[in-house]
Amino acid sequence: MISETLIVEKGVSAGDPWVTVESRNVREALSGLKNDGYTLLVFLTCVDHLVDSSRQWPARYEVLYQLRNLETREQIRLRAFIDGEPPRIESVHDLFGPANWEERETYDMFGIVFNNHPELTRILMPDDWVGYPLRRDYPVGGEPVEFSEEHEMWQTAPEKA
């Protein structure tokens, strides 16, 4: 069970409970939840609150861990807020196996560094890619895509005799 001293804030959203902990306490809180039966890491992701003025957030990045108890089917979301350049939080790959890949994806898309991860490398973007595409300050633009004339022509199947 999570020690009440670790919990900064708690509530319920869409019927599922959530708790917020300080980023330095993520491993301890997740370990407590795992010992309490929440053995499945459903997902790990991040939210960038850079331009969200609707609410005052404690930090720019919110790292989210959704867990499920397979016996009771209950779910709980644990969240932690982090800042920094680069933003850092402890890896939990050794507590939940799927976190290994999900931490790499979160690193690749948001630039969150998971301390003590065994191989924190890009997995979705090319190794030489500059920036983190899911950050809200990532330049949104595009590049022109050129099509051949053949692409624009409709081709029809020959009629059967």
Q: Quick check: is 151 in a domain?
A: no
Q: How many Å apart are CA 122 and CA 1, to the nearest integer? A: 34
Q: Which tokens hold the place of 29?
A: 């809180």
63-95 per-position pLDDT tens digit: 999 999 999 999 999 999 999 999 999 999 999
Q: Is residue 77 part of a domain?
A: yes
Does 85 fall in a domain? Answer: yes
Instruction: Check residue 32 and give its pLDDT.
Output: 95
Residue 39 lies in a domain: yes
Domain of 55, in residue numbers: 7-129
35 found inside a domain: yes
Mean per-residue pLDDT, 6-30: 94
Our count of domains for the chain comes to 1
Q: List C-alpha distances in Å: 89 to 12, 25, 37, 83, 106.
A: 24, 10, 24, 10, 11
Instruction: Give a yes or no: residue 138 inside a domain.
Output: no
95-149 pLDDT tens trace: 999 999 999 999 999 999 999 999 999 999 999 999 999 999 888 877 666 666 6
| 79 inside domain | yes
Rounded to 5°, angle at Cα 77 from 74 and 79: 165
CATH of the domain at 109: 3.30.460.80
The answer to the question of residue 88 being in a domain is: yes
- The whole-model pTM stands at 0.83
Q: d(Cα 88, Cα 23) in Å, to the nearest integer?
A: 9
Q: How confident is the model at residue 51 (pLDDT cuts 50, 70, 90)?
A: confident
